[in-house]
Amino acid sequence: MDVIVLGGGLMGSASAYFLARRGARVSLIERNLVGSGATVASFGNIRRTGRHLAQLPLAHRSLSLWGEADKMLGRDVEFRATGHIRLIFDEDGLADMRAYAEAARPWGLELEELTPREIRARFPGLGPDAIAASLSPYDGSGNPRLIAPAFAEAARKLGAEIIEDAEVETIRRTGSSFLVTTSKGTFAAECLLNTAGAWGARIAAQFGEAVPLDARGPQMGVTEPLPHRILPVVGIWTRDKNYGAYLRQVERGNIVFGGAAERVSVDLDPGHAAADPMRLPAQLRAVARLLPSIAQVAIIRTWSGCEGYVRDMLPVMGRSGTTPGLFHAFGFSGHGFQLGPGAGDAMAELITTGRCETPLDDFSIDRFHRVSANQSKK
């Protein structure tokens, strides 16, 4: 089986690897460098807490692959299962956390509830005013710079062709195959996998499939390096989005943070997302609630990245509704880093066997067309 994978972010590179491992002949076409889209900009959170419940089977599949990544890919991609703590500062946050923990348990996610005394004893310096916290001990983080190039390199070793800096000129369906002409030549295959991230809706539209997707950029920052003391990834349960911050300390000592700032809008041409310095002071106030000592530290860089947010905040994954041989995996709506290895493995399973053991129905591209068809019947 031949497959063209269009878009070399985490989704495309992981799919290329798992497809090649299943014996498919793969051409991965990326118009820039592998991993240089939303993936490299990611905060690196490998978090299951708070996910839409229907995403948990895919998130579990992905977490176990993150755990094998170093061995599987032959290099350290800095996955560390340090745990993910979410601090709680009010009764609404506590009620939301308990309701989520109960709902998530049958889906295989166990959250521990920590008291203020346990937070102080186990995680000194975090959230002195917190009234409780949730802890997901097996989650953690990975390095967003390393993972997509590692998958692409491992795919290449299995025989996949990795084509970078290739401007795609046309994508056509001819008979039973796809023909993609690019600045680096023409490629033909019986299957086409659309992993073009925020640009994925454009590819889908060429095949008559409209997806409501906005390109936006979460705002991120990083401090100077400090002695390494904060082990888990830190977030918050809150209904107030002005306080929805998160942070983690990388092993080199820098504290990376994000959240609590409205996402910047991004023009898909050329797709460069820029952090807005005006949003930084309010963002830092929210981060300081989680870690007061951040007020003493210098910020050395801010950035953003172009991510595709689908209207219902769920990705588009699965078969095309219009075109045999076409598959989609895009629009990961700000939480695709954790899902990446699982999404690549699931897409490879679906493409090569025609079925997938992980339920993907909630992510089908048909969900938008079902809604429009029902609306037009009313």
Residue number, nearest CB to ligand FAD: 9
**Closest separation in Å from C-beta 336 to ligand FAD:** 2
Two structure tokens written together for 282: 């309010």
Instruction: Name which of 7 and 149 has its Cβ closer to ligand FAD.
Output: 7
Residues 6 or more apart whose Cβ sits within 8 Å of residue 340: 10, 11, 14, 39, 62, 147
Give the residue with the Cβ less far from ligand FAD, 120 or 173. 173
- Minimum CB separation from ligand FAD for residue 340, in Å? 6
Q: Which is nearer to ligand FAD, 321 or 336 (CB)?
A: 336
Is the peptide bond prior to 57 cis by the omega test (within 30 degrees of 0)? Answer: no
Q: Least Å distance between CB 63 and ligand FAD?
A: 11
Question: Which of residues 28 and 88 has its CB atom nearest to ligand FAD in the complex?
Answer: 28
Minimum CB distance to ligand FAD, residue 120 (Å): 26
Minimum CB distance to ligand FAD smaller for 90 or for 262: 262
The distance of closest approach from Cβ of residue 118 to ligand FAD in the complex, given in angstroms and rounded to an integer, is 25
**Rounded CA separation 300/302 (Å):** 7
SS3 content of the chain, % helix, strand, coil (to 5): 35, 25, 40
Q: In 121-200, at which residue ranges do the beta strands (DSSP E only) sit? A: 132-136, 140-141, 161-163, 168-174, 177-182, 185-189, 191-194
Q: Minimal distance in Å, beta carbon 191 to ligand FAD?
A: 16
Sign of CA dihedral 240, 44, 160, 34: positive
Q: Which is nearer to ligand FAD, 198 or 211 (CB)?
A: 198
Strands 140-141 and 264-265, sheet pairing? unpaired
Rounded alpha-carbon distances, angstroms, from residue 118 to 114, 125, 242, 293: 6, 12, 26, 19
Q: Which is nearer to ligand FAD, 98 or 279 (CB)?
A: 279
Residue type, 240: D
Cβ of residue 378: shortest distance to ligand FAD, in angstroms? 34
Q: C-beta of 295: minimal distance to ligand FAD in Å?
A: 23
- The nearer residue to ligand FAD, 218 or 321, going by C-beta atoms, is 218
Let me know how many helices (H) and strands (E) the chain has, helices first.
10, 22
Angstrom distance (rounded) from CA 365 to CA 378: 22
Of residues 15 and 118, the one with the C-beta less far from ligand FAD = 15
Give Cα 329 to chain centroid, integer Å. Answer: 11
Give the nearest distance from C-beta 174 to ligand FAD in angstroms: 18
Q: What angle do CA 18, 51, 79 make, to 5 degrees?
A: 50
Report the interface residues with ligand FAD, using CB under 6 A.
Answer: 6-12, 29-32, 36-39, 41-45, 168, 195-199, 217-218, 220, 304-305, 307, 330, 332, 334-338
Q: DSSP letter at 254?
A: P
Alpha carbon separation from 244 to 11, 232, 367 (Å, rounded) = 26, 17, 29
Smallest distance, ligand FAD to C-beta of residue 8, A: 5
42 SS3 class: coil
Report the residue number, 133 or 220, with the smaller CB distance to ligand FAD: 220
Residue in the block written with tokens 């998530």: 104
Among 315, 247, 297, residue whose Cα is nearest residue 82? 247
